[in-house]
Structure 1
Amino acid sequence: MLNEYCASTSNGQARAWLRDMRGSAENNWLCRQQGRPDRVIDMTAACVREYGKGAVARYTDRNDLTSWRCFSR
């Protein structure tokens, strides 16, 4: 889902990237594109793109970068 989100915001050029494999969930996922500055992924925007209006992103464990989930409001 995150690779598709990054690609959709960059004419297909960016991919999802982890800043720090041991880091926290917050602000650790980036869109990376060669020759451009990295951008922190807006996780709620990624959920909305995937599931539609009303979707929201939340992590279940602040210390687990893989704990992001999409929820419906």
Structure 2
Amino acid sequence: MVVAAALLTLAATVPLLLRHDAGTPQATVRLPVVSIPPPAVAVAPAPSAARHPLRAVARARKPSPSPPPTSGAPPVLLGPAGAAALPQLLTSYCRATVGRLTLAVSTAGGWACGRVARDPVPIDMDAMCRWRYGANAWAELRDDTDATGWRCYRDGP
């Protein structure tokens, strides 16, 4: 019983001791005051040293990596069949190349493989087409205003 009373008394006084404010410490030495005069002439950085801010660039249509067909035949559509099938195809690509816990997400900069608690990985649409349809496949965005407008082609016939 005596031990319990001592513990209760100690428990009640420790928080009071910890709250005690010793006051604001005072500096014993005065700090010097420093003033720096402005430069006499403003000097512009050299053009090679100038830095430009980075900004995202939306992917635009790009030409086929293979040479144009000699027969003049139009390219052959390989897929996907429509806008609804593209996210599923891209998710399959993400899971095969980035990791099984990824999903394809449409961002302002284009499609990316979204990962939990990590930065998204941009999708190279040409690489995705080659992964799905073979080495001669390439990607093209038919409508710049529609992110689901990507299709995979190969040179015809």
Structure 1 length normalisation: TM-score?
A: 0.82
Q: Which of residues 63, 75, 95 is equivalent to 1:7?
A: 95
Identity %: 34
Q: Deviations over 1:10-30 (max 9, x none)?
A: 23121101115xxxxxx4211
Runs of 4+ in 1 over 4 A off after TM superposition: none
Q: Which residues of 2 match residues 1-73 of structure 1 at below 5 A?
A: 1-20=89-108, 27-73=109-155
CA RMSD for the aligned pairs? 1.3
Q: Deviations over 1:20-62 (max 9, x none)?
A: 5xxxxxx421100112211111111111111011100001111
**Equivalent residue number for residue 73 of structure 2:** none
**Structure 1 Cα separation of the partners of residues 141 and 98 of structure 2:** 25
Using CA pairs under 8 Å that are at least 6 residues apart, name the structure with larger relative contact order, 1 or 2: 1
- Judging by fraction of residues, say which structure has more strand: 1
**Structure 1, gaps ≥5 residues long:** 21-26
- Judging by fraction of residues, say which structure has more helix: 2
**Shift, 1:6, TM fit:** 0.4
**Structure 2 Cα separation of the partners of residues 17 and 11 of structure 1:** 14
Structure 2 length normalisation: TM-score?
A: 0.40
Amino acid at match of 2:96: S
How many residues are paired up? 67
**Shift, 1:4, TM fit:** 0.6
